[in-house]
Amino acid sequence: MAKMLDGMEAMLRGEAPPPAAATLLGMRLPSFSGGEALVELDATAAHGNPMGTGQGGVLAAVADAAMGWAYMTTLGEGRATQPSR
């Protein structure tokens, strides 16, 4: 777990870049703790759809990032997945 958390902490300090998709969409990870991650996005017209509302794929990407980062805080040392129970 330490390696993934170290990378997330480095990203918070500005010492490591965020994932490319987060940069493309303008997402930020301002904080995280065990099993939780806060993801922010300042929505602009570029995040909208033709109806003038937020594009669903952008919302899904924010949710995916939050769940992925939160999940990363729960992993054991050197693991990329949790064992089946």
pLDDT tens per residue, range 7-39: 899 999 999 999 999 999 999 999 999 999 999
Is the pLDDT reported for residue 54 higher than 60? yes
Domains in the chain (CATH in brackets) are: 2-72 (3.10.129.10)
For the cut 80, the answer to whether the pLDDT of residue 64 exceeds it is yes
pLDDT mean over 67-73: 94
- Tokens at 35, concatenated: 């099993």
**Taking every pair of C-alpha atoms in the chain, what is the biggest distance, in angstroms?**
45
Task: Supply the pTM of this predicted model.
Answer: 0.83
E strand residue ranges, the chain: 27-33, 36-41
Handedness of CA 12, 17, 18, 23 (dihedral sign): positive
